[in-house]
C-alpha cells in the first residue's frame, strides 16, 4: 500500500503493509507530482523490531507486557524512520504538546501523565478561537534562523493535530502544584529533561546531529518551569510570562 504525504516540509512516500498509518496521515496527503524527498518502506521485520522494543521496555519498567497489533506497531516504525530521515535537514521529533495563540506556538513538555493535554486545553478554553493545538504529543521542531513547530499525524490518544507550522516562542516544563507559578530557567537546568523528551536515534552520527539540534534549540527559545493546577488561571499565568 503506497501513498504520498507532506510532513514537515518533506514529501514522503509511504510503502506499508497495513492501512492504519495512511488513515492517520490522511490530512497530510500530498497530491502534487514532485518527486518524493523520502521513501519509507516497511517490512514485517520492522514491525517485529517495534514489538521487541516495546516488550523490552515494559519488562525493564516492571510493567505487564503489552500486546500491540501489527498495524499499530507499523505506525511506530514509520514515525521512527521518518524522524531519523529528517535530522540531517535540521528537524527533530520532540515529545510535547504545542499550542498556538494568534499563530504563535508554545511548547509544553513533561513526564508522561503530568497533564500536558489538560493544561493546553485550558488555553483553548480561555483563548477560544485564537488558540489551537498544533500537535498534542509528537511535534516536529525545525531549527533554522527561527524555531518552528510542525503538526504530525502522531499526536497522542486525543488525536489533536493540525497540518501546519508555527513559529515557536517558548518551551515550558510542566509539573503539578497546588498554586500557579512560572519561572524562567537556564539551559543547564532544563537540558536533562529536554534531552529525555527529544527523539534519540541509535545511530551515533544521527544522535550527535540530534544533540547539536537540541543545543541550538535551547539557545534560541526561552525556557520556563511551570507549576500549575487545573484552574483556568493556570493558562493566564503561563501565557503572560511565555508571550513576553
How far the first Cα of the chain sits from its last, in Å, is: 47
Per-residue pLDDT at 88: 96
Per-residue pLDDT at 84: 97
| CA 134/CA 122 separation, integer angstroms | 15
Q: What is the DSSP letter of 66?
A: P
Per-residue pLDDT at 186: 95
| CA 100/CA 164 separation, integer angstroms | 11
User: Considering the entire predicted model, what is its pTM?
Assistant: 0.94
CATH of the domain at 203: 3.90.228.20
Domain end: 30, 56, 85, which one?
85
pLDDT tens sequence across 77-97 = 999 999 999 999 999 999 999
pLDDT tens sequence across 20-65 = 999 999 999 999 989 999 999 999 999 999 999 999 998 998 999 9
Angle formed by the axes of helices 204-220 and 187-197, to 10°?
140
Q: Do residues 145 and 187 both lie within one domain?
A: yes
Residue 205 has pLDDT above 80, yes or no: yes
Per-residue pLDDT at 53: 94
Closest Cα partner for 194 from 220, 167, 176? 220
Q: Do residues 71 and 102 both lie within one domain?
A: no
Q: Do residues 66 and 167 both lie within one domain?
A: no
Residues of the chain with pLDDT > 70, as a percent, come to 100
Domain end: 85, 106, 121, which one?
85
Range(s) of the domain holding residue 22: 2-85
| CA 187/CA 125 separation, integer angstroms | 31
Q: Do residues 123 and 226 both lie within one domain?
A: yes
Closest Cα partner for 135 from 96, 168, 92, 81? 96
Amino acid at each position: 500500500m503506497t501513498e504520498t504525504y507532506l510532513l514537515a516540509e518533506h514529501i514522503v512516500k509511504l510503502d506499508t503493509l497495513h492501512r492504519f498509518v495512511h488513515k492517520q496521515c490522511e490530512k497530510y496527503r500530498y497530491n502534487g507530482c514532485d518527486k518524493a524527498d523520502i521513501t519509507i518502506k516497511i517490512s514485517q521485520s520492522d514491525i517485529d523490531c517495534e514489538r521487541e522494543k516495546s516488550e523490552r521496555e515494559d519488562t525493564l519498567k516492571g510493567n505487564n507486557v503489552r500486546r500491540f497489533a501489527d498495524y499499530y506497531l507499523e505506525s511506530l516504525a514509520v514515525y521512527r524512520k521518518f524522524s531519523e530521515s529528517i535530522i540531517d535537514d535540521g528537524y527533530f521529533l520532540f515529545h510535547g504538546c504545542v499550542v498556538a495563540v494568534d499563530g504563535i506556538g508554545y511548547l509544553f513538555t513533561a513526564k508522561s501523565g503530568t497533564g500536558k493535554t489538560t493544561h493546553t486545553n485550558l488555553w483553548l478554553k480561555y483563548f477560544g478561537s485564537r488558540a489551537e493545538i498544533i500537535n498534542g504529543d509528537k511535534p516536529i521542531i525545525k531549527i533554522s534562523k527561527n524555531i518552528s513547530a510542525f503538526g504530525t499525524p502522531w499526536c497522542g490518544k486525543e488525536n489533536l493535530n493540525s497540518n501546519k507550522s508555527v513559529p515557536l516562542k517558548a518551551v515550558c516544563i510542566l509539573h503539578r502544584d497546588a498554586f500557579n507559578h512560572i519561572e524562567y530557567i537556564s539551559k543547564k537546568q532544563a537540558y536533562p529533561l529536554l534531552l529525555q523528551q527529544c527523539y534519540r536515534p541509535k545511530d551515533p552520527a544521527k544522535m550527535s546531529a540530534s544533540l547539536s539540534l537540541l543545543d541550538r534549540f535551547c539557545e534560541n527559545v526561552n525556557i520556563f518551569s511551570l507549576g500549575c493546577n487545573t484552574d483556568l488561571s493556570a493558562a493566564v499565568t503561563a501565557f503572560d510570562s511565555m508571550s513576553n
